[in-house]
A and B are shown apart, each in its own frame.
Chain A
């Protein structure tokens, strides 16, 4: 019952920008968009989150469309260590604060 849709996999050349799209057409007005990534055999790593404005931190940028129905995570200069599964999440349960992870996008960065 994830509220997001992401491509199954993407490739990116090392040093280039990786742009990972996410659709969340049923997002509610007070729901944030979160991005996490999970490298094999490790726990999910928080990347960035936002409500409606674009956000940037030391790891990535988050671009949210004006209607908030989709967003894009941008890794400006991908490295081999960015190879991971990237999850776009819309928090759906404020009673438990649980995160619902979908299947994510498997990003492969190649030399």
Chain B
């Protein structure tokens, strides 16, 4: 079975802090994604990566950055956390090819106070 592991299920941080969200997958997938999920807004793509050291902006990259130093790990960084970044963050991975399904982790519910 595909396993996508996010480092924390729940996280509370303060405004202005630098926040790191970690994601690891064990299926040797090339593609990795970061989404955030908010009530009424569905899932929105923040960043994605098709290979090590490669990253592409999604729909809402402002205030975020990512790092992909190893194939299995994709990190999301909130440079200076703000209250409007309180959300559920979801990491996903997939094999290359347009029809391959994405597999999600259990999510990190992040609260910025």
Chain A positions within 8 Å of B, measured between CB atoms, are: 2, 30, 32, 34, 36, 41-46, 49, 51, 91, 94, 96-103
Distance between Cα atoms of A103 and B40 in the complex (Å)? 8
Looking at chain B's contact residues, the main secondary structure is strand
Distance between Cα atoms of A75 and B52 in the complex (Å)? 38
Interface residues on B, range: 20 to 34
Q: Which of A2, A42, A96, A103 is in CB contact (< 8 Å) with B58? A: A96
Are A32's CB and B99's CB within 8 A? yes
A34 touching B101 in the complex, CB below 8 Å, given contacts A43-B107, A99-B43, A101-B42: yes
Distance between Cα atoms of A44 and B94 in the complex (Å)? 14
- Contacts of B43 on A, CB cut-off 8 Å? 44, 99-101
- Closest 8 A/B residue pairs (Cβ): A43-B104, A98-B45, A43-B107, A46-B101, A101-B42, A43-B106, A101-B43, A44-B104
Looking at chain A's contact residues, the main secondary structure is loop
A43 touching B42 in the complex, CB below 8 Å, given contacts A91-B98, A96-B56: no
Are B98's CB and A97's CB within 8 A? yes
A97 touching B90 in the complex, CB below 8 Å, given contacts A43-B106, A51-B99: no
B73 CB-CB contact with A under 8 Å: no
Are A46's CB and B90's CB within 8 A? no
Distance between Cα atoms of A42 and B102 in the complex (Å)? 15
Are B99's CB and A49's CB within 8 A? yes
Chain B: CB-nearest residue to A95: B56
The contact string, 1 if C-beta is below 8 Å from chain A, for chain B 36-70, is 00000011010010000000101100000000000
B74 CB-CB contact with A under 8 Å: no
B13 CB-CB contact with A under 8 Å: no
Chain B: CB-nearest residue to A45: B104
